[in-house]
Amino acid sequence: MDIAVTGSTGLIGRRLVADLRTAGHRVLGVVRPSSSSATGDTISWDPAVGTIDAGGFEGLDAVVHLAGEGIAEKRWTDDQKRRILESRTQGTGLLARTLAGLQKPPTVLLSGSAVGYYGDTGDRVTDESGPAGHDFPAMVCVAWEDAATPAVEAGLRVAFLRTGIVLSTDGGALAKQLPAFKLGLGGRAGKGTQFQSWISIDDEVGAIIHLLGAGTGGVGAGAAVSGPVNLTAPDPVTNAEFTKALGAALHRPTTILPMFGPRLLFGRELADSLLLTSQRVVPTALEASGYSFRHPDIEGALRALLT
């Protein structure tokens, strides 16, 4: 397959591009003109100013759209919230309109989203049929997905990748937690009863390839999926359970994380959203399409990553 990937230099994108190329697919990174990656098999775009090399997408088989400002990189000031929202809606809208106007468009667009769509679900088990939440991450996800409407209306198969916490030692939440946990200073946040919907980097990338129909086993049921797809492991765990499993994997004791530190560093809204929001999200659509998880439980996932 010929596949374009935005966000190709990010945590998920790097691994996805590598695995697709290893499997024999041609992958083109969609990058800004000033990017150091803007050589070879790339397509140029700049969502902030609305420019894109539309011709580079003609005749491709698929596009995976992963680009967007990191949601937890900076304190949530009004300006940072605007950047987070616009980095998703502007890029998605530009890409969707471009694909919709092609003579020979790709047949599939896998567009990034997040389990933040559901807001705080408490103890309630939530699948793709769950309603949108009302907090800032939910508002962003709703607008993010709505921006892909032109591609949907043009007849492309569009799936929204509602991704949970991606576990990887190369970046993301786990990599940030590891130094403290290795020192025996890691701990649960608050009461620890809040649920975390997570997925290993192996399964995140494996699920995307499955949904593309680009796996080594050929085109399967994943290549027929459209609409929202939760990219989460089938067994969400509480923060306390995650803390215990990570401590055990590292053979270190754990404690309780005082919230005043993260709130001071990130601000109360971002810190509480990251650490205290409860999301018990399950991958009903992904499992129904026949995807088989490599790491369905948190203990096995952490052992695979850390040993």
Structure confidence by residue, pLDDT tens digits, 190-237: 999 999 999 999 999 999 999 999 765 555 667 799 999 999 999 999
**Topology adopted by domain 2-166+198-233+282-294:** Rossmann fold (3.40.50)
Residue 9: per-residue pLDDT: 94
Q: Which amino acid is at 146?
A: D
Q: Which amino acid is at 46?
A: D
Q: In this structure, what is the dihedral angle of CA atoms 136, 137, 143, 149, given to the nearest 10 degrees? A: -170
* Rounded (to 5) percent helix, strand, coil in the chain: 40, 20, 40
SS (H, E, C) 238-264: EHHHHHHHHHHHHCCCCEEECCHHHHH
Own/partner pairs, 101-105, CB within 8 angstroms, 24+ separation: 101/54, 101/154, 102/54, 102/57, 102/58, 103/58, 104/58, 104/59, 105/57, 105/58, 105/154, 105/156
Residue 186: per-residue pLDDT: 94
Eight-state DSSP code of residue 131: P
Residue 226 backbone phi and psi in degrees, to 5: -140, 170
E-strand ranges in 119-222 read: 125-126, 157-163, 165-167, 187-189, 195-196, 198-200
Task: Tell me how many degrees the CA angle 167-261-237 measures, rounded to the nearest 5.
Answer: 35
Q: Distance between CA atoms of 196 and 201, rounded to whole angstroms?
A: 15
Q: Could you tell me whether strands 237-238 and 165-167 are parallel, antiparallel, or unpaired per DSSP bridges?
A: unpaired
Give 10-residue mean pLDDT values along the chain (307 residues).
96 97 96 69 94 97 95 91 96 98 97 98 97 97 98 98 97 94 95 97 98 72 90 98 97 92 88 94 97 97 95
Residue 217: per-residue pLDDT: 58
Question: Which one, of 225, 239, 229, lies nearest residue 280 by Cα?
Answer: 239
Tokens representing residue 14 in the block: 């790097």
pTM of this structure: 0.95
Residues whose CB falls within 8 Å of the CB of residue 206, separated by 6 or more in sequence, listed in order: 291, 294
* Residue 178: alpha-carbon gap to chain centroid: 20
Q: Could you tell me whether strands 62-65 and 51-52 are parallel, antiparallel, or unpaired per DSSP bridges?
A: unpaired
| Domain edges within the chain | 2-166+198-233+282-294
Contact 170, 201 (CB under 8 A): yes
